[in-house]
Amino acid sequence: MNINWLQNLNEQQRQAVLQTEGPLLILAGAGSGKTTVLVSRTGYILSQHLATAAEVLVLTFTNKAARELKERVSHKLGQQGQKVWAGTFHGWGLDFLKKNYKLAGLPQRFGLLDATDARSLLKDLVKERQHYAKSNFDVEILQNVLSDIRAGKSLSPKLDEAYLDMADWLLPAYTAKMHSLGLIDFDGLILKPTEILKQHENLAKKYQQKYKYIMVDEFQDTNKMQLDLVLSLCNSNSNIAVVGDDDQSIYGWRGAEIQNILGFPKLFKNCHVVRLETNYRSTPQILTMANSIIHRNEERHKKQLVPNAHAGSGPLPEVFIFDHEEAECEEITQLILDYHKKGFAYKDIAVLFRSNSQGALLEGYLKRSNIEYDLTGGPALIDRKEVRDVLAYIRTAIVPNDIALRRILNTPHRGIGDTSIHKVIDYQKEHELSFLQAIKLWHKTDINEKV
Instruction: Specify the higher pLDDT residue, 87 or 398.
Output: 87
Instruction: Specify the higher pLDDT residue, 215 or 182.
Output: 215
What pLDDT, on the 0 to 100 scale, is given for residue 202?
97
Q: Are strands 111-113 and 278-279 parallel, antiparallel or unpaired?
A: unpaired
Q: What is the mean pLDDT of residues 324-334?
A: 97
What pLDDT, on the 0 to 100 scale, is given for residue 417?
75
Q: Using alpha carbons, select from 280, 226, 243 the residue that is nearest to residue 39.
A: 243
What per-residue string of b and e applies to 109-134 under the rule 16 or more CB within 10 Å gives b?
ebbebeeebbebbbeebbeeeeebee
Residue 135 φ/ψ, nearest 5 degrees: -70, 150
Residue 187 to residue 443: CA distance in whole angstroms? 39
Collapse the DSSP code of 333 into the 3-class scheme (helix H, G, I; strand E, B; otherwise coil) and give the result. Answer: helix
What pLDDT, on the 0 to 100 scale, is given for residue 43?
96
Q: What one-character-per-residue DSSP string does 229-279 give?
A: HHHHT--TT-EEEEEE-GGG---GGGT--THHHHTHHHHSTT-EEEEE-EE
**Does the pLDDT of residue 169 top 80, yes or no?**
yes
Q: What is the pLDDT of residues 403-444, one digit of tens each?
A: 888 888 888 888 787 777 777 777 777 777 777 787 777 656
Largest CA distance in the chain: 81
Question: pLDDT band for position 448 (50/70/90)?
Answer: low
What pLDDT, on the 0 to 100 scale, is given for residue 407?
85
What pLDDT, on the 0 to 100 scale, is given for residue 96?
98
Residue 257 to residue 219: CA distance in whole angstroms? 9
Q: Count CA atoms within 13 Å of residue 366 on its CB side.
A: 18
**Does the pLDDT of residue 450 top 70, yes or no?**
no
Q: Count CA atoms within 13 Å of residue 348 on its CB side.
A: 8
Residue 30 to residue 277: CA distance in whole angstroms? 8
Residue 189 to residue 91: CA distance in whole angstroms? 8
Residue 369 to residue 401: CA distance in whole angstroms? 49
Asked if residue 193 has a cis previous peptide bond (ω within 30° of 0), the answer is no
What pLDDT, on the 0 to 100 scale, is given for residue 333?
98
Q: What one-character-per-residue DSSP string does 181-238 give?
A: HTEEEHHHHHHHHHHHHHH-HHHHHHHHHH-SEEEESSGGG--HHHHHHHHHT--TT-
Chain centre to alpha carbon of residue 336: 33
Question: pLDDT band for position 376 (50/70/90)?
Answer: confident
Residue 341 to residue 371: CA distance in whole angstroms? 12
What pLDDT, on the 0 to 100 scale, is given for residue 1?
52
Q: What is the pLDDT of residues 183-221, one digit of tens each?
A: 999 999 999 999 999 999 999 999 999 999 999 999 999
Q: Are strands 183-185 and 213-216 parallel, antiparallel or unpaired?
A: unpaired
Q: What is the mean pLDDT of residues 156-168?
A: 86
Which region among 37-41, 110-114, 135-139, 326-330 has the lowest average model confidence (pLDDT)? 135-139
Q: What is the mean pLDDT of residues 375-387?
A: 77
**Does the pLDDT of residue 293 top 70, yes or no?**
yes
Neighbour count for residue 226 (Cβ, 10 Å): 25
Question: Judging by beta carbons within 10 Å of its beta carbon (0-12, 13-18, 19+), is residue 403 exposed, middle or buried?
Answer: buried
Residue 169 to residue 371: CA distance in whole angstroms? 52
Residue type, 15: Q
**Does the pLDDT of residue 166 top 70, yes or no?**
yes
Residue 25 to residue 410: CA distance in whole angstroms? 53
What helix, strand, coil percent values describe the chain, rounded to 5? 55, 10, 35
Q: What is the pLDDT of residues 5-56, one digit of tens each?
A: 999 999 999 999 999 999 999 999 999 999 999 999 999 999 999 999 999 9
Task: List strand residue ranges (DSSP E) for 287-334, in order.
Answer: 306-307
pTM given for the model: 0.84
Q: What is the mean pLDDT of residues 255-272?
A: 92
What pLDDT, on the 0 to 100 scale, is given for residue 230?
98
What pLDDT, on the 0 to 100 scale, is given for residue 355?
80
Residue 316 to residue 309: CA distance in whole angstroms? 19
Can you say whether residue 371 is alpha, beta or left, with left for phi > 0 and alpha for psi between -120 and 50 degrees?
A: beta
Instruction: Give 284's DSSP letter.
Output: H
Residue 31 to residue 17: CA distance in whole angstroms? 17
What pLDDT, on the 0 to 100 scale, is given for residue 437?
80
**Does the pLDDT of residue 447 top 60, yes or no?**
no
What pLDDT, on the 0 to 100 scale, is given for residue 132?
56
Q: What is the pLDDT of residues 54-85, one digit of tens each?
A: 999 999 999 999 999 999 999 999 888 899 99
**Does the pLDDT of residue 251 top 90, yes or no?**
no
Q: What is the mean pLDDT of residues 309-322?
A: 90
Rg value, the chain, Cα? 26
What pLDDT, on the 0 to 100 scale, is given for residue 130?
61
**Does the pLDDT of residue 133 top 60, yes or no?**
no
DSSP lists the bridge partners of residue 25 as 242, 273
| Sequence-separated (6 or more) residues with CB below 8 Å from residue 150 | 171, 187, 191, 225
Residue 446 to residue 372: CA distance in whole angstroms? 60
Collapse the DSSP code of 56 into the 3-class scheme (helix H, G, I; strand E, B; otherwise coil) and give the result. Answer: strand
Handedness of CA 355, 360, 366, 372 (dihedral sign): positive
What pLDDT, on the 0 to 100 scale, is given for residue 442?
66
Tally: H helices and E strands in the chain: 20, 10
- pLDDT, averaged across the chain: 90
Share of the chain above pLDDT 70, in %: 95
What pLDDT, on the 0 to 100 scale, is given for residue 360?
85
Residue 81 to residue 42: CA distance in whole angstroms? 9
Instruction: Specify the higher pLDDT residue, 191 or 151.
Output: 191
Q: What is the pLDDT of residues 102-114, one digit of tens each?
A: 999 999 989 999 8
What pLDDT, on the 0 to 100 scale, is given for residue 429?
72
Collapse the DSSP code of 240 into the 3-class scheme (helix H, G, I; strand E, B; otherwise coil) and give the result. Answer: strand
CB 37 within 8 A of CB 28: yes
Question: How far is the CA of 288 from the CAs of 54, 185, 285, 304, 419, in angstroms?
Answer: 43, 44, 5, 10, 65
